[in-house]
Amino acid sequence: MSEVFFCADHHFGHKNIIKFIDSHGNRYRPFESIEEMHEVIIARHNSVVGKNDVVYFLGDITFNPKYLCFLNEMNGEKYLVKGNHDSFSAYTYLKYFKDIQGVVKKYDFVMSHVPVHPSQMDRWKMNVHGHLHAETIMLGDEPDLRYYNVSMEAIDFTPVHLSVITNEMLKREELKNGKY
């Protein structure tokens, strides 16, 4: 049986992303070169994803279609939830992805690139998203438990297994209901 994984914000070929700084003053990506970043992302992907597994890419694969070829080196049957930087034709993406969507409702949660607005979150148990890179959605002084960020920086550049997300979703539900 196939396993299911999630990831976002690969930014293949985006040379400046290794220079970006988060709100805490840390570099988003600890790589010396864009080539090193590509190698690490592909290696970590293949270290957990098998050839027959399913992978949801929650947007922002690359700004340049020539870098989509890296997807051929990555294991799994790939599905794309388009991000704000995924602006090429469907034809271009369908060479690499089994399907392309804007938002996916599955596994008791909603998948999107940009986080769903908080006013809409009563419809789902959780929003699995990208876009924020190393940042966390806050609810006052605490992380908002309705959101799960799978941006590369938030997941140590390694796709997250469905069981990790569903276990976290159950734990967060219990926290919200006062069981912890």
Amino acid 174: pLDDT: 81
Amino acid 27: pLDDT: 87
**% the chain with pLDDT above 70:** 98
pLDDT tens digit string along 12-52? Answer: 999 999 999 877 888 889 999 999 999 999 999 999 999 99
C-alpha closest to that of 72 among 9, 12, 150 = 12
**Residue 57's CB: how many other CB atoms inside 10 A?**
31
Q: Which two tokens stand for residue 31?
A: 């790589």
Residue 150: HSE in the Cβ half-sphere, 13 Å Cα cutoff:
30
**Measured CA distances, 86 to 32, 107, 152, 160 (Å):** 25, 24, 16, 21
- The helices-and-strands tally (H runs, E runs) of the chain is 3, 11
**Measured CA distances, 154 to 98, 99, 134, 151, 176 (Å):** 25, 25, 5, 5, 22
Question: pTM for this one?
Answer: 0.94
C-alpha closest to that of 139 among 104, 164, 111, 176 = 176
Q: Which two tokens stand for residue 5?
A: 């994984």
Q: Which helix (H) or strand (E) holds 41?
A: helix 34-48
